[in-house]
Chains A and B, each alone.
Chain A
Amino acid sequence: MVINTPLIVCLRNILHDEIKLSNFEAMDWELVVRQARKANLLSRTAYFLRENNLLASLPDKVQGHFISALYIYDANVQAYCWEVEQINSVLSDAGVPCLLLKGVAYIESNLMSRKGRVFSDVDIMVPKDQLKKAERALIKCGWITSDLNPYNQKYYRLWMHEIPPMTHLTRHSNLDIHHSILPPTAKLKPDNNKFWESCISLDKNNLYTLSQVDIVLHSATHLFHEGEFDNGLRDLTDLDLLLGEFSIDRSFWDKLLNRAREQSLGRPLFYAMRYSSIFLQTKIPAGVLKDMESEAPPKFLVNIMDFLFLRALLPNHVSCSDQWTGLARWILYIRSHLLRMPLYLLIPHLLRKSWMGFFAKKR
C-alpha cells in the first residue's frame, strides 16, 4: 500500500498553494484523473488546479476531464442553492428552523470547503420536537419518501439520527433530514441542544449553520463513524480546508479541543487530525497534536486503525489497492454498525436486512 499516490501528492500541493508538480508526467496526470474520479474529487482537484493557475498548462486531454468536472460543479452549486431556497421557504412558513449541514452549509456560509465540492443531497437538521411538523410541511410541497418498506421506515424512525431520505416529486433532488448528529443508540452521546445553542444564523431569518468548531466536529464524527468510504478522501479534504480556514484565528485550536471534550467527541477529532496530517499534511501545530494524544485509543488500537484507515481512505481505485484493502473496508463497515447500535439491536437488524436483500433478488 502506497499513500503517496499521484492524486494525494497533487492534493497536498494544490490545497496548500505549494506547487511542486513540475515532475508530473502525462501518465501521472492520468492517474490523478482516474483516482480523483473514483474518490469524487475530480471537481475539487480541477477547482484548485485552476485557482493555482495550473490548469491551462496541462496536456489538452487531461484538461478536458477537469474542465468537464468544473461544469458539473457549477451546475451542482446552482441546483442546490435553488433547492435550499425552496426547502427553507417551506420550513420558514411552517415555523421550523432549518440548520444546514455538510455540502450545502459550506456553500451557503461561503467556506473554503465549498470549493469544487459536488454532492447529491441536501442535509439539514431540525429540532427533534418539530420533526413531524417539518416532515408534514415538506410532504405537502412535493417531497416524498421513496422507500416505503415498513421495516426500513421503522429502522430509521426508531434508531437513526435522521428520518428516511426524501425525494422531490418533480425535481428528483434528495433531502436528508437529521434531528441529531449521531444515532441515539450510538456509543458517543454528544448533547444535541448545545449544537443548537451555538448555531449561527445565515439569513437573519430561518437558515442556520453550526458554529465553526461544531462544523469541524460534525465533519470528523460523520467521517469516522462512516461504514463506506467512497467519499472518505473527499471528506478528509473538507476537514483539511475547514481547519486551514478556521485556524487563521489562533484561539480556534483551543476552542476546538475544549468543545470536543465537552461533547465527548475527542476520539473522532483525534482520528480526523491524525489522518488529515498523514494524507494531506494538514498544518496542525505540534502542541495541538500532542494535546490530542490524550483522546487517542491505546497504542495497539492506533496501529490497527492505521492498518484499516490508511487503506480505506485511499481512492477506491485499482491503482491504490493492495491485498488487504477489501478486508479493511469490510472491517470498517462492520465497525460502523457496531458504533451505531449495540449488538443486541445490530444482529437482528443485519439478519433482517440480509433476508430482505435475498428476498428482493428472488423477485
Chain B
Amino acid sequence: MSQFELRNRLADGLRFKVGNVHISISSTIPEVVEHFEALYCSYELLDKSEFIDFYIQVLAPSIFRRFFRPQVNFSFDGFFPFKPLPYSQAAAMFEWGLNWCITTHSHQYLMIHSSIVEKNGEILILPGASGKGKSTLCAALVCSGWRLYSDEMALIAIENGKIFAVPRPISLKNQSLNIIQNFSNDVVFGSTVTNTAKGDLAFMKVPEQSLEGISGDAIPSKIIFPFYKGKSATHFQAVSKGTAFMQMIENSFNYNALGKTGFEVLSKIIENCDCFNLTYDSLEEAVSGINRLGEK
C-alpha cells in the first residue's frame, strides 16, 4: 500500500486484524501514519462486512491546542479513557490504548501480563511487570528464531487453556533499544518517542514469519519468570507449581473477574508447564539457556 493510500485509509478507518482481534483505527496524525507504514504493513486487512472488536480514533488536538503545547487524544468508540498526551506520543498512545481496550473488554480469556513466544509448537510464557526485562528477552528470542505470539499479554481460552496469538510490535524502552539493535542486524524499529512516562521508547516490527500461519491452538509448556539483574550470571531456578501459580495471579489482568473459572483455567496451565525463575544479564546466554531447556 502506498503512503498516499495508507493515509486515506487511516483517515476513514483502517480495518485490520491482529490474530483474532479486529481493529478499526482512524487518525490523520502524521506520526500515526508513519507508525503504520513502518510496523503494520504485513497485517491482514478486513473489509467492511467483518465484525470489528475495537473502533479506535487517535485524534488531533483542537485548533487552539495545535499551536500551544499540542496534545493527542485516544477514543474508544466515543469514550475517552485517558487524559490527553503530548502530540509527539500519538503512536505510543495508540499502542497503549489498544492494550487497554483488549485487557478491559476480553474476559472471555484469562489474561496474563506476559510475553509469549513459540518454536516448533512449544509455547513459552514470560510473565512480568514493566522493568523486569520481559520485553527485551522476548525481542531477543524473536530475533533468534522464536515466533512472537504477544509481547504484552497472554490471551488464554477459558474452555481449553489454549493461547491466542496477538503479535503486535514489541515496545522497547531506554537502554533496551540499543541492546536489541546490537543483538541483531535484522530488526526494524519505528521512530523513537522521547520523554514518555516510561522514558524513551520505540516499537520493534514483528518479523513476517511470526504473522504467517499461526494456528492459535497450542498449549503452553513452560513458564519462565525473567528478572534482569546487571552483572549477574545467567541462572535458571526451578519454581514450585504453587509459587508459580501465585506469581501468575499477580501478573493477571482479570483473575479476580473470572472467579472460579479463572482458578480452573490457571490450574490447567500450571499443571502442564515446567516453571523457572531466570536471572540474567547477558541476553545471548539467556537465549541459549532457554533453547537448551527446550531440547531437554
Contacts and interface: CB of A to CB of B under 8 A. Distances in A.
Chains A and B bind each other:
yes
Interface of A: 26-27, 29-30, 34, 37-38, 59, 61-65, 67-69, 71-72, 74-75, 78, 316-318
Contacts of A27: 49, 51
A3 B57 CA distance: 26
Contacts of B22: 61
28 contacts: A26-B49, A27-B49, A30-B51, A30-B52, A37-B105, A61-B51, A61-B53, A65-B105, A67-B107, A68-B106, A68-B107, A68-B108, A71-B107, A71-B108, A71-B254, A71-B257, A71-B258, A71-B259, A72-B107, A72-B257, A75-B257, A75-B258, A75-B259, A78-B259, A316-B78, A317-B77, A317-B78, A318-B78
A196 B275 CA distance: 59
B4 interface: no
B253 interface: no
B110 to A, nearest CB: 10
A38 B256 CA distance: 24
A37 B77 contact: yes
Contacts of A64: 53, 106, 108
A67 B257 CA distance: 12
Contact of B261 (A65, A68, A71, A72): A71
Nearest to B79: A38
Contacts of B245: none
B55 interface: yes
Contacts of A34: 55, 77
Contact of B77 (A38, A67, A75): A38
Max chain B CB contacts within 10 Å: which of A34, A65, A71? A71
Nearest to B53: A61
Interface in B76-129: 77-79, 105-108
A360 to B, nearest CB: 14
A49 to B, nearest CB: 14
Nearest to B256: A75
Interface string B27-53: 000000000000000000000011111
Contacts of A69: 107
Contacts of B107: 67-69, 71-72
Contacts, number: 54
Contacts of B49: 26-27
A-B pairs, top 9 by smallest CB distance, nearest first, are: A68-B107, A71-B107, A67-B108, A61-B51, A75-B257, A64-B108, A68-B108, A30-B51, A26-B51
Contacts of A65: 53, 105, 108
Contacts of B52: 30
A75 B106 CA distance: 14
A68 B105 contact: yes
Contacts of B106: 64, 68
A183 to B, nearest CB: 30
Nearest to B50: A26
Contacts of B79: 38
A62 B53 CA distance: 8
Contacts of B257: 71-72, 75
A62 B108 CA distance: 11
Contacts of A61: 22, 51, 53
B90 to A, nearest CB: 21
A78 B256 CA distance: 11
Max chain A CB contacts within 10 Å: which of B79, B108, B256, B259? B108
A102 B187 CA distance: 56
Contacts of A317: 77-78
Nearest to B48: A27
A72 B254 CA distance: 10
B67 to A, nearest CB: 19
Contacts of B254: 71
A132 B78 CA distance: 41
B79 to A, nearest CB: 7
Contact of A59 (B51, B256, B258): B51
Contacts of A78: 259
B184 to A, nearest CB: 36
A29 B51 contact: yes
Given A64-B106, A316-B78, A318-B78, 11 more contacts: A26-B50, A30-B51, A34-B55, A38-B78, A61-B51, A63-B108, A65-B53, A67-B108, A75-B256, A75-B258, A75-B259
Nearest to A61: B51
Interface string B153-179: 000000000000000000000000000
Contacts of A63: 108
A59 B52 CA distance: 12
Contacts of B50: 26
B23 to A, nearest CB: 12
Contacts of A318: 77-78
Interface in B40-74: 49-53, 55
A316 B50 CA distance: 23
A232 B198 CA distance: 39
A72 B261 CA distance: 12
Interface in B239-288: 254, 256-259, 261
